[in-house]
Amino acid sequence: MSVHKYSTAKGDKWYVKYGNQTKRGFKTKGEAKQYEAKLRLQANSLQETLYFHAMIDDFLETTKKEVSYGTWIKKKYVIDKIILPNTKNKDMKKITEVECRNFKDVVNETKYSTAYKNYILRQYKSIFRFATTYYRLPYNPSIVLTTFKDSFEEIARKRRKKEMSIRTEKEFRQFIKYVDNMEYKTLFIVLFYTGLRLGEAQALTWKDYNGESLYIDKSLTKKTEHGLYDIKDPKTASSIRKVALGDVSLILDNYKNEQMKLIGFDESWFIFGNVKPLAATSITRQKDIAIEKAKVKRITLHEFRHSHASILIASGIDIVAVSRRLGHSDIKMTLNTYAHLLEKNEEKLLQKINLSSQNLLTK
């Protein structure tokens, strides 16, 4: 294999020659070299050593193109700080189930939460799956690894946190009275009464609003390689949805009327932020100021979403409808998150059944 430069009308480019084939179109020599290294790794995968560390390099290079920058940074941190230091750089074909189990034991000894331990384990296993898919690793020894289970203390703490993170409509009304800025007030109302993720709300433009509902098909991420933010596709296909607003549309209409008075107003403007979307730091600051003035319990921006879902479930709204409104990829996610509320609804259901059966017995 070899890397060569050639000239085009648009400037110099690079190509990789391997065997009787040639791959052209690389903008830099570095890109061509990366591709050459990948080909060498593939060529050697069946007959020579398939080094674990080399596999990680290609894994990171490939996943960087498939996930958001923030997600990639999180993966890379786990690989650099935990997986690489605790895994020998040996032929992957010679890594055994016992060695995989030993890695899991190392992770188990850390002070991380069970959720984060499982995240580490998923990244570890995904490297083996990557090798199996792209380099024909004959057997994946990490398949024997099972997930860590939450301790009773963690289960109890998660439940308490869920219950504490929910704000009632009464609390929200007390809070919103102290938000003076019309833009932020409208944003908080939309978050509380739609259950949108913050990134989804930040990415909205006036083209996504039809007077009755909001069309969600993108999200904002604040971690990028090339700027303060990036507008990207939603996390899953189910996140693409239309969210009905009801009377909230009247508030959004009033806000839009004010925005239309601004010079240069355009439907392509962000609903919250105009030419540029509102920054999460500014939104958090305005929220915290209003919380202090209102003397209400603190709440994170994501907990507006939890509160919205909780109010719907407590009102007896079908869990499938709630899941669709939230844009969850699987109803199991909704059930796991709000199981404690469903249990309360079941108590109300049993009370009604008991009352009904008592009436029947007395007749």
Q: Average pLDDT in the 253-265 region?
A: 95
Do residues 106 and 187 both lie within one domain? no
How many beta carbons lie within 10 A of that of residue 346, not counting itself?
A: 10
Write out the H or E segment, with its range, that includes residue 289. Answer: helix 280-294
The per-residue b/e assignment along 140-175, b for 16 or more CB within 10 angstroms, e otherwise, is bbbeebeebeeeeeeeeebeeebeebbbeeeebebb
Q: Quickly tell me which residue has 């979307």 as its tokens.
A: 277
Do residues 147 and 194 both lie within one domain? no
Domain boundary among the residues 247, 270, 300 is at 300
Predicted confidence (pLDDT) per residue in 148-191, tens digit: 987 767 666 666 555 546 778 899 999 999 999 999 999 999 99
Among candidates 292, 336, 352, 346, which has minimal Cα distance to 150?
Answer: 336
Identify the pLDDT of residue 9.
78
Among candidates 242, 258, 232, 209, which has minimal Cα distance to 325?
Answer: 242
CATH number of the structural domain spanning residue 285: 1.10.443.10
In a domain, 311, yes or no: no
In a domain, 220, yes or no: yes
How many beta carbons lie within 10 A of that of residue 282, not counting itself?
A: 12
Domain boundary among the residues 264, 285, 300 is at 300
- Give me 260's structure tokens: 């239309």
Do residues 8 and 135 both lie within one domain? yes
Count of CA atoms in the C-beta half-sphere (13 A) of 303: 17
Q: Is the pLDDT of residue 3 over 90?
A: no
Q: β-pairing, 241-244 with 11-18?
A: unpaired
Q: Which long-range contacts (CB under 8 A, 24 or more apart) does 84-87 make?
A: 84/53, 84/56, 87/52, 87/124
What residues contact residue 63 under an 8 Å CB cut-off, 6+ apart? 72, 75
Strand order in the sheet with 21-26: 2-8, 11-18, 21-26
Predicted confidence (pLDDT) per residue in 197-208, tens digit: 999 999 999 999
In a domain, 291, yes or no: yes
Distances in Å between the Cα of 105 and the Cα atoms of 57, 87, 123, 153, 167 are: 24, 12, 15, 21, 40
In a domain, 344, yes or no: no
Among candidates 135, 187, 195, which has minimal Cα distance to 167?
Answer: 195
In the chain, the number of structural domains is 2
Q: Domain of 100?
A: 2-152
* Global pTM value: 0.65
In a domain, 141, yes or no: yes
Among candidates 21, 12, 61, which has minimal Cα distance to 38?
Answer: 61
Do residues 196 and 293 both lie within one domain? yes
Do residues 102 and 145 both lie within one domain? yes
What residues contact residue 291 under an 8 Å CB cut-off, 6+ apart? 175, 297, 298, 299
Do residues 133 and 203 both lie within one domain? no
Predicted confidence (pLDDT) per residue in 109-151, tens digit: 998 988 899 999 999 999 999 998 888 888 999 999 999 987 7
DSSP code of residue 80? I
In a domain, 233, yes or no: yes
Do residues 176 and 280 both lie within one domain? yes
In a domain, 316, yes or no: no
In a domain, 353, yes or no: no
Domain boundary among the residues 256, 275, 300 is at 300
How many beta carbons lie within 10 A of that of residue 129, not counting itself?
A: 14
What distance in Å separates the CA atoms of residue 76 and residue 315, rounded to the nearest whole number?
43
Identify the pLDDT of residue 116.
92
Do residues 108 and 44 both lie within one domain? yes
Do residues 119 and 184 both lie within one domain? no
Do residues 14 and 147 both lie within one domain? yes
Do residues 38 and 148 both lie within one domain? yes
Predicted confidence (pLDDT) per residue in 211-244, tens digit: 999 999 999 887 666 567 788 887 778 899 999 9
What is the identity of the amino acid at 128? Answer: F
What is the identity of the amino acid at 82? Answer: I
Q: β-pairing, 219-221 with 230-232?
A: antiparallel
Q: Which residues pair with 220 in a beta bridge?
A: 231
Do residues 124 and 15 both lie within one domain? yes
Q: β-pairing, 21-26 with 11-18?
A: antiparallel
